[in-house]
Amino acid sequence: MGYRFSGFQIDKIGVIGSGQIGPDIALHFAKAMHTRGVPVVVVDVSAEALERGRAKVNRKIAKGRESGAFTPEAAESMVRHLSFTSDYEQLRDAGLVIEAATENLEVKRRIFAELEELCGPAAILASNSSHIEPDELFAELGTRERALVIHYFFPADRNHLVEIIPGSETAPALVDALLALYEEIGKVPVRVGGRYGFAVNPVFEGLFLAAALAVEAGLGSVKEVDAATRTALGMGVGPFTAMNLTGGNPITDHALDEMTSKLGPWWRSPRLMQEAMASGKPWDVPGRDEKVELSPEREERIGDTMRGAYFGLVGQILDSGIISLADLEVAVETGLAMRAPFDLMNALGVPRALQLVEAYAADHPGFAVPRCISAQARAGRPFRVSHVLRRDAGDVAVLTIRRPRVLNALNDDVFEQLYEHFVALHSDPRIAAVVLTGFGTRSFVSGADVGFLARIESPADGATTAERSKRAGNLIESLGKPVVCALNGPALGGGVELAMCCTARIARKGLPMAVAQPEVNLGIVPGAGATQRLPRLVGMEKAAEMLRTGRGLSGAEAVACGLIREEVDGNVVERAIELARAAARGKVTLPVIDPGPMPTPAALPPVEIGHRSRAIDGLLCRALLEGCNQPLADGLQVESEMFGACCATEDMRIGVGNFLANGPRSKAEFVHR
């Protein structure tokens, strides 16, 4: 069957190396490609390594089957599509081969010379090298336009980050296609320039170096620095623990010494690493539930030191020009499971962040103070982190909401950036239509960040919040150019409200749950237009049932009731571009919401609302009946007033508090007042 994407065909995938990361790369491909009939072949010269890799993959698949993550049929299909062999001939006709062998330039060059002859000029040849620049890796290849680095992160089957690093001769169309492919199969790909170590490893290894130097300087023990760094930087695990988990000592030891000449004089393998390498022992790190006791003064000193190093490292990478600020932010947050760097600098204040970097540089010769942080501090503004990305496909602009760790949830920054983009698009004569979509395949928009609800202090504050959340959507609705929403995944709450402001909505085919308005489960009414636009699109009875119960619709159900125009079996964004362009040229007519009053019954049909708040249900019914009886603009104002009123109820506090404490699956115990 095979897999075709952006003009490239993949009928077989190869992975070279059955060591630490190769089997996990193969497992991820098997999970993504087994339904398309694409075999994944792992090749290694060591029979022992092959057996270890096979056992590791089978163990993970079995665990997934036991937990319910994989159906028995899917698990069996994955195993069937995976093979482990020492025979390189099994890679013949592979459309994509990823080398994940030892980090040795000569070994890698020999492998690629063999692959070039075996696989032919059409194959995509990639290395999972964690440091070596692609131009150095592929210098001896004859077909360098199909060669590049694709750098995975531990554990490769579950860590979403992938760095895509083209060489100077890599075909741009291939880079774009691979970025799209990896997004399609569940990764968060970022494009990075070919500097030694690329973008994220200098953060990972640089933080380890900074932590080791902190121990050497007497700021604390390995265990203390590990724990304090984890807290200061919002890390899933501290730098020494991460080194234990990844088995990274040998690679990091070599890389840090290489970085002295490649990146600057601060970089080197520290004495502490030399001692660890000589002993062969793991780092003495905190246990899973161990509480490391530190005085507040010592914890603050370690934290400030490590924050200064962290900010300096990411600033130096941004100064190098190998990656954009938005991509660096999402890459570090995703790949290293830690607080996003520019968000953290903004929270502390950029001038304070600069002070920490300057203090670190003063204590550590050779550590550069980044120009970007100095300039931002002088400007007196926080860093702008783009969560809404624009690309133009001819005369159609494509806006993508990208916040992968929170499934593209909306917050004030996203609303403001959407508004700014649509203001620009309104007056851009080159753009005839717009497509709005979300990043990845897991969600279009998972709703609005719930944390802001807990900060609403009064009904007036609530009404103002609702009005602010409508600003971008109202502009989309009145843009004067067709706007097609491409639902790449489910839309919840504010995501549906945003989609309803668009001229038309299309969805990826087969979504079991495509749209839902679950606000009542939080003890609130919708605040960004659902009580007014949904009835005008699907009728009052259907809208009231959805809004009062929070129950969602599958893609097919959403098409049947008119909320979604069509399901797409294929690339939903490409179809949205086609539809938007056709509408702009008058070849397709896309009906818009009637902004006038709609026929409204005296009362709504009875609905079983279960455990949900009767107080909130009353406000919701008022928004529907009183608002829809008026022109759309006035009805939206009624909705904002009802949202404000719900902010005065006990049930709103109960619902939001329960969500933040226990998650979306927990039912709040409402008191109906």
Dihedral, CA atoms, 584, 628, 523, 416, nearest 10 degrees? Answer: 30
CA distances from 410 to 290, 439, 494, 496 (A): 36, 13, 7, 11
Q: Which of 133, 205, 477, 497 is catalytic?
A: 497
Q: Which of 299, 519, 567, 639 is catalytic?
A: 519
Query: What b-and-e string marks burial along 567-587, b requiring 16 or more CB atoms within 10 Å of the CB?
Result: bbeebbbbbbbbbbbbbbeee
* Cα 506 from Cα 583, distance rounded (Å): 14
Neighbours of 599 (CB within 10 A): 8
**Which residues contact residue 19 at a Cβ distance below 8 angstroms, ignoring those fewer than 6 apart?**
44, 49, 53, 100, 101, 102
Pair of tokens at residue 527: 């605040």
Host H or E run for residue 392: strand 388-393
* Cα 511 from Cα 280, distance rounded (Å): 50
* Cα 670 from Cα 651, distance rounded (Å): 5
Query: Does 169 participate in catalysis according to the annotation?
Result: no
Pair of tokens at residue 312: 């300096």
Contact 25, 16 (CB under 8 A): no
Q: Is 248 helix (H, G, I), strand (E, B) or coil?
A: coil
Selection from 582, 506, 518, 512 nearest residue 548 by Cα: 518
Query: What b-and-e string marks burial along 263-298, b requiring 16 or more CB atoms within 10 Å of the CB?
Result: beebbebbebbeebeeeeeebebbeeeeebebeeee
* Cα 260 from Cα 271, distance rounded (Å): 15
Looking at residue 439, its amino acid is F
**Which residues contact residue 481 at a Cβ distance below 8 angstroms, ignoring those fewer than 6 apart?**
425, 426, 431, 432, 433, 434, 584
Query: Does 136 participate in catalysis according to the annotation?
Result: no
Pairing between β-strand 3-5 and β-strand 8-10 as defined by DSSP bridges: antiparallel
Neighbours of 506 (CB within 10 A): 26
Whether omega for the bond prior to residue 155 falls within 30 degrees of 0, making it cis, is yes
Contact 559, 566 (CB under 8 A): yes
Query: What b-and-e string marks burial along 428-450, b requiring 16 or more CB atoms within 10 Å of the CB?
Result: eeebbbbbbbbbbeebbbbbbbb
DSSP β-bridge partners for residue 504: 484
Looking at residue 231, its amino acid is T
Residue 339, classified by CB atoms within 10 Å of its CB into exposed (0-12), middle (13-18) or buried (19+), is middle
Residues identified as active-site: 497, 519
